[in-house]
Amino acid sequence: MTSPETQALADTHEPAYGTLTSTNLLHHASKLSLAEMNEPLVEPELMFVLTNDLSLGAQEDEIIANSTIAAGLEIPDSRYKNWFPNFNLTDLLCDNGVTGHVVLSSPIDTPNFDRLGTIHMDLYHNGKKINEGLSATVLSNPASSVAWLTSKLAQRNVYLKKGMVISSGTFISPVPVEIGTYNAIFTNIGEVRITFEP
């Protein structure tokens, strides 16, 4: 929830976060079965992959210097049926931020701060363009979204570690999943694809 539109869905003034595990992470061109999910969504996001531990409350320059970046699709899903958009912030937090899956491409060197704020994304379903967005939607800059997270975690004396993957926030409002293939193309970053089967 890193834009006014997504924050409005849960009636909150700031983002929220959950925890990804290795079982949540998928790689480019993966497949998922809708029969094994409730009501998944698609959210195109940039994924920061940490190359070193970050200091407590690390800010944008440190984050960029100690990460690579990948094109990504987050697939939020809840344990509850009929959850979207019929949820509140408490529901979201109790369900680990509705963490479902994250699909990411091979990472590349992270662009500088200014370039991170101007990345364009096109989203396709079965080859037809269905949406587009800009990285500036994500708290003005995806690196600032990660900095928000580091500051929030610092309140609990927690820091982000080498190898962690941080899903920085969606470029668009969530899209309910339909059968077929979704692919997102991020300018100068790469492309990521996921296929949903019955």
Domain boundaries along the sequence of the chain: 4-197
| Separation of alpha carbons 78 and 97, rounded Å | 9
At 31 the pLDDT is: 93
Report whether 181 contacts 163 (CB < 8 A): no
Of the pLDDT bands very low, low, confident and very high (cuts 50, 70, 90), residue 103 is very high
- Domain 4-197, classified CATH 3.90.850.10, yes or no: yes
pLDDT at 125: 98
Calpha distance 71→143 (Å, rounded): 14
Percent of the chain with pLDDT over 90: 73
- Per-residue pLDDT averaged across 3-18, rounded? 76
Nearest-angstrom CA–CA distance, 37 and 99? 12
Closest CA to 40 of 23, 24, 19: 24
pLDDT over threshold 70, residue 97: no
> Would you say residue 151 has pLDDT above 90?
yes
Give, for 45, the enclosing helix (H) or strand (E): strand 41-50
Closest CA to 40 of 2, 81, 87: 81
Q: Is residue 138 predicted with pLDDT exceeding 80? A: yes
User: pLDDT band at 10, cuts 50/70/90?
Assistant: low
Whether pLDDT at 5 is above 90: no
How far, in whole angstroms, is CA 94 from its chain's centroid?
19
